[in-house]
Structure 1
């Protein structure tokens, strides 16, 4: 945990932003895999962590804006529990570490909410993403499942987004710990990428590195020779010379701040000439995007600039043609780059995504596009000093997409389908790094980590 002053200051700021009523924050409970006592790895709700820092299941909290009081609801373990777990810190002790002076039993939260409902006080809550919390809220607030998310407090969502978007110095230190562990994992994956090695063995080793560093994976690892599948969590292949291994992984620290990095490396000692050509286009796009990062810049514009750099390189290879800017404007480049350039990063890999991309990545005046490719851009708004975000351009050759667009004669003025047919077995390349937006530009987080096509393999060995 951070100091209790950190959590108290965060809650005080939240009260000022919300202004009235009570704020209801739900922690997460444990969830069973196949019978009650065999539970999945517990992960606390990130908003609960941000304002209270207590990493234990079965807690709820009320921040009463009108009376300026904070209450944590939960139960201490019994003696029978201690037989299995050993003695654990009391709820009162945990609450004191978060600067909270008042606790109450879990069941008593119902009385507190009933009283607020009876008094017709405003109850601010966040859109729930877990079924058990949805069930509780429908019963407590007498709201149907269908209306539950729509009735969530927009005031609270906006207040939390405003706070969590700008990372404090102590948060940046914690994020960078996760990034450095992620770099170690990536370096190991590049080193292990050899002919005859299984994907699952590499994925298992780097998972162990995340746990050994004191935390866990920030998200399920993407590690595959089929890099054209954007979120490929299957690890069933045996590596062969001539292939490339795409590894997108992240470690989160014990405090749940994490990294998110991608490297694509050759299984052989070096890329083939064709692989290197595409790889270097992605590097050029990546570096061009980073050069634009500074406060006040629309991240959507950074994304579009990166897309133009990809299209320029692909045009030089003969895979694209025509006017590059017009090709990107119409979305023809999405044959090769179907996703967004990056996203916010912090306590969540896609930071605050449970609150809604329309609040985290966009504004009332800047709406998300519906165009294929651009609609997958999670972050479009102006970036600010203190933001932590990812930059991850890529080129993905997807045979099914080629066949569909070719049959529909889509973008024939911009895509050279005849030459693209010869690349159907290529796969995909992505390069991703995590950056802090500074007062005048940006800083790549973590220790040095090569993305040079000539050095990526040798530096890992």
Structure 2
């Protein structure tokens, strides 16, 4: 943190010169969020019991002292704000009191880590009521169990959290998932999916840093460079912004591999480069953008045709981001734009709407058009994709459409990505052709000439407003001409 104290962040003078290692909002922010959680639970008829929030622990890479970068559980961050490993927090639904289970820094750890805020400091910064040593957690949990009070928790996504929950709740390890509280899941989703103005400022900051990451890579890429070198440029900008990358970047010449995390290729003289990368702010909020550009500097005629079609699909999707409309409509708008454009190029034929309804377009667009974004890049996905993105809607089993993470109605305050893509996946094309799939729509002989066309994706981040949607972040013109302008230095 810088020496400047922002209006929405706590003063650190009460910490008696302790080192503050993570940025937090003011205590009132967390108190208000917890009060809203209690109200949402009570609305569902739950007015007693305890909501359990195990924080994340350090995750060793290959031995205990060599760990991955620590990232706190996002719901723990949302309600308590403390990004310290090995914590638990419990919220008493009846009284509204919030307690923290944390340990004082040992003398040995003081040597290795330097001074840290004490449990009492964290309680003060998060607006909680008390702190207890971690050793008392089991005894307190046993007392709660004897009282027959409901014990609510979210589904764990880490093995160590699952084991801890099994131990403190006295459950078989295999029964932990089934015991997760659906009312708590619903309450957390209802709160986290509508972003406050404070959160929107954080997300906008993350998107701005993400834009800088993308512009730097677009301008720096040269034939002969490694994918790893370009990934490093993006990562350095994310780190210099005070946070980190929000997820493992995709930085690849092989854009038709949707989640290619290998950085072992070098850029040739031709072809495409696809960057899917975003920054995370010190408070944990994510940005998520994707750019595609021609390594040679300018798109050739065929590349330009597909690139412009992807942009048109994004425009079609964002145009129907309107409160009350299902996000699924945005997916179909993108799919129909892609199908119509591919028909113009001679790769599809027949009725466009029928082709999309049948799923023929998914040969080229085999994923959903986007997802929610916030404290997680795929926001709240650990709570269950169907809970977060579908609600009462049924999920399709159709190839491509079944990968749509978000389908339900959008509401003001939601933050969503729009990321259509067109991919020429050689193995998939060959499989479908051998099976004779959708021959009435797909022009396989013409497609033979496009096998090496690669993958294209464009992704932007949007917030739903009262009347429509607004793109987050500063200026970032994705037109072919603008991207080529950023690449001008490659042709000098």
Task: Give the TM-score normalised by the residue count of structure 2.
Answer: 0.92
Paired residues of 2:336 and 2:353 also in contact (CA < 8 A): yes
1:47 to 2:70 alignment: no
CA distance in 2, matches of 1:388, 1:453: 26
Q: Deviation at 1:349?
A: 0.5
Which one of 243, 247, 252 corresponds to residue 275 of structure 2?
247
Which one of 410, 417, 430 corresponds to residue 390 of structure 1?
417
1:426 to 2:449 alignment: no
CA distance in 2, matches of 1:189, 1:368: 37
In structure 2, the residue corresponding to 1:369 is in which secondary structure? coil
Describe how 1:15-414 pairs up with structure 2 within 5 A. Answer: 15-19=38-42, 20-364=48-392, 366-414=393-441
CA distance in 1, matches of 2:80, 2:166: 24
User: Paired residue for 2:37?
Assistant: 14
Structure 2 unaligned spans of 5+: 1-23, 43-47
CA distance in 2, matches of 1:81, 1:142: 31
User: Paired residue for 2:21?
Assistant: none
In structure 2, the residue corresponding to 1:425 is in which secondary structure? coil
Paired residues of 1:450 and 1:459 also in contact (CA < 8 A): no
Paired residues of 1:242 and 1:272 also in contact (CA < 8 A): no
Q: Deviation at 1:146?
A: 2.1
CA offsets, 1:312-346, max 9 Å, x none? 00000000000100110010000000000000000
Q: Deviation at 1:154?
A: 0.1
In structure 2, the residue corresponding to 1:434 is in which secondary structure? strand
Q: Deviation at 1:147?
A: 2.1
Q: Deviation at 1:80?
A: 1.8
CA distance in 2, matches of 1:58, 1:143: 21
In structure 2, the residue corresponding to 1:33 is in which secondary structure? strand
Paired residues of 1:53 and 1:98 also in contact (CA < 8 A): yes
CA offsets, 1:386-408, max 9 Å, x none? 00010000001000011110000
User: Paired residue for 2:25?
Assistant: 2
CA distance in 2, matches of 1:220, 1:144: 33
CA distance in 2, matches of 1:339, 1:177: 27
Paired residues of 1:24 and 1:61 also in contact (CA < 8 A): yes
CA distance in 2, matches of 1:11, 1:383: 24
CA offsets, 1:88-118, max 9 Å, x none? 1111111111101211011111111111111
CA distance in 2, matches of 1:298, 1:88: 46
Aligned length: 460
CA distance in 2, matches of 1:382, 1:10: 23
CA distance in 2, matches of 1:68, 1:289: 42
Q: Deviation at 1:144?
A: 1.9
CA distance in 2, matches of 1:452, 1:341: 19
CA distance in 2, matches of 1:380, 1:450: 28
Paired residues of 2:51 and 2:90 also in contact (CA < 8 A): yes
Q: Deviation at 1:283?
A: 0.7
Q: Deviation at 1:368?
A: 1.1
In structure 2, the residue corresponding to 1:8 is in which secondary structure? helix
Paired residues of 2:256 and 2:455 also in contact (CA < 8 A): yes
Q: Deviation at 1:459?
A: 3.3
User: Paired residue for 1:455?
Assistant: 482
Paired residues of 1:61 and 1:70 also in contact (CA < 8 A): yes
CA offsets, 1:343-394, max 9 Å, x none? 0000000000000011110112x11111100000000000000000100000
In structure 1, the residue corresponding to 2:481 is in which secondary structure? coil
Q: Deviation at 1:87?
A: 1.4
Paired residues of 2:49 and 2:152 also in contact (CA < 8 A): yes
Q: Deviation at 1:5?
A: 0.8
Paired residues of 2:218 and 2:486 also in contact (CA < 8 A): no
Paired residues of 1:179 and 1:259 also in contact (CA < 8 A): yes
CA distance in 2, matches of 1:271, 1:372: 30
In structure 1, the residue corresponding to 2:480 is in which secondary structure? coil
Paired residues of 2:271 and 2:295 also in contact (CA < 8 A): yes
Paired residues of 2:320 and 2:329 also in contact (CA < 8 A): no
In structure 2, the residue corresponding to 1:219 is in which secondary structure? coil
CA distance in 1, matches of 2:249, 2:67: 21
In structure 2, the residue corresponding to 1:114 is in which secondary structure? helix
Structure 1 unaligned spans of 5+: none
Task: Give the TM-score normalised by the residue count of structure 1.
Answer: 0.98
Q: Deviation at 1:221?
A: 0.5
Paired residues of 1:335 and 1:401 also in contact (CA < 8 A): yes
CA distance in 1, matches of 2:224, 2:54: 47
